[in-house]
Amino acid sequence: MNKKTKFAGIFFPEKSEELNNLIDSYKENKQIFCKSKAIIVPHAGYIYSGHAAVSGFQYLEPCENIFIIAPSHQEHFNNIAMPEYSYYETPLGNLEINNKIIEEISRNFPSIIANEIFENEHSIEVQLPLIQNFFFPHLQNASDFVKNLKNIGKKIKIIPILTGNCDYKIISNIISQYWENSSFIISSDLSHYYNQTQCRQIDTYTATIIETGKLEFLENYQACGIVGIKGLVNFANNNNLSLIRAEMYNSGDISNDKEKVVGYGSWFVSSLSKNEYIKTYLSDYAINIVKESIYSILYEKEFIPRNIPSVFTQYGASFVTLKLNNELRGCIGSIYPTKPLIIDLIDNARNAAFQDSRFTPLTKEEFENVEISISLLSSIEKIYFKDEKDLLSKIYPHGIIITEKDKRAVYLPIVWEQLPDKEIFLNSLKEKAGLSPQYFSRTIEAFKFDAISIENKDVS
């Protein structure tokens, strides 16, 4: 039995050429540095969420089996549901369902097999033409043809799964069991029907949780596919993987309706942390942002960043350090991520150049020879210790923050290069906070963090 499309002509065009052209129109001519076996993408009508969905699909590495894990909007049930169809039909042709894997899952996980649950559900169906467009291309240039030669004879099958009243660990365990030979599409929109300001606040909060792995803060109101999202985040946490943003906006950015909007976002799984990803692939962009930020002030030019990689729209904390002839010329930064990284870099670059109270403002002549380094900070973790000796045993090789009442000081991890002795390091940090090197008390607090460093020499 085949499942015929119910949503062609509603969520996406029903004519194949028009459908392919619409999907192609959302593809950006941007460099994709790495591929991923799992993505989160929205499932609204293409006119609204198509750009975000395509942004996510551009990172997806297809395997022989592609799982589509989506929420049920029409039917209520416990755990997960799977169909007995042989194929899904779309305007772009048929997609075969891997019924063997469905049988395996039904034996090993709490689930039901029921076609009727899928009859009027769009959250699976919206993803199918995207799979077909990306992995069964209708038009290929010579380069793409050569790249796809390895896929000749390889047959992609799908495994549609709808979630009901379900423990997210079921999804996490399914992903874990089939990870080696499968790809995963988590189908979910973000917040629903708030005004645009509220939507942006909620979705920014949701995105930060997804990107930092704090899945205990994910709630049902934040996304309709919250079970699938939590399942993937949990899997990523358990396997030292991270989720990196590909795109995020809301329907109010597309339509004129700003009162009842829906949020859309896409993410891909990476073996690199956000900061490692930036250093590996986008060091030149980060350094150039700092340079342009300073240049625009020196020469009174407007600076509006263009073609911002989505990872720079994630919240981040950074330090910008300027040196001349290997001597410090300015250093300002943020300990906590309170704004998108792109804004944090711009602010810290300008403050390091012109607002560091230890130095006069940077001049045009100095700018020509200034050495720039950026530190991208990890999250902050409190250090628990019994006494000063215990604290000394826990500070290396991290960046360290100490606080005592209204006094506070921070050293980046790079400071260990100048102060390699733990006791000298800590005593110097105390002095920076306005404390005596011999000072210690029961109320002093310490925190640690790590940092990824990007320097001029890292850029091409």
SS in 3 state form for 360-386?
CCCCHHHHCCCEEEEEEECCCEEECCC
| Mean pLDDT score, 215-243 | 96
183 with 329, same domain: the answer is no
Q: Does 153 have pLDDT greater than 60?
A: no
Q: Does 148 have pLDDT greater than 90?
A: no
Residue 340 sits at the vertex; the CA angle it makes with 337 and 369, to the nearest 5 degrees, is 90
266 with 345, same domain: the answer is no
Neighbours of 364 (CB within 10 A): 9
| Residue where a domain terminates, one of 271, 289, 311 | 271
Quick one: pLDDT at residue 28? 85
| Mean pLDDT score, 360-387 | 96
Quick one: pLDDT at residue 140? 43
| Mean pLDDT score, 354-360 | 96
414 with 339, same domain: the answer is no
Provide the number of structural domains found in the chain. Answer: 3
Q: Sign of the C-alpha dihedral, residues 135, 161, 123, 258?
A: negative
Give the domain CATH number at 445. 3.30.1490.150
253 with 106, same domain: the answer is yes
In a domain, 459, yes or no: no
Quick one: pLDDT at residue 146? 52
339 with 389, same domain: the answer is no
Lowest mean pLDDT among 61-65, 136-140, 260-264: 136-140
Judge contact between 357 and 310, C-beta under 8 A: no
Question: What domain range includes position 296?
Answer: 276-377
Please give the sequence-ordered ranges of beta strands (E in DSSP) within 251-386, or none if there are none. 261-270, 317-324, 327-333, 371-377, 381-383
| Residue where a domain terminates, one of 355, 377, 399 | 377
Confidence of residue 231 (pLDDT cuts 50, 70, 90): very high
Model confidence over 244-272: pLDDT tens digits? 999 999 999 999 899 999 999 999 999 99
In a domain, 457, yes or no: no
| Residue where a domain terminates, one of 249, 271, 293 | 271
In a domain, 312, yes or no: yes
Enumerate residues 6+ apart whose C-beta is below 8 A from 263: 189, 190, 191, 192, 199, 200, 202, 203, 206, 248, 249, 250, 251
Judge contact between 246 and 34, C-beta under 8 A: no
Quick one: pLDDT at residue 173? 98
The DSSP symbol for 421 reads: S
pTM to 2 decimal places: 0.90
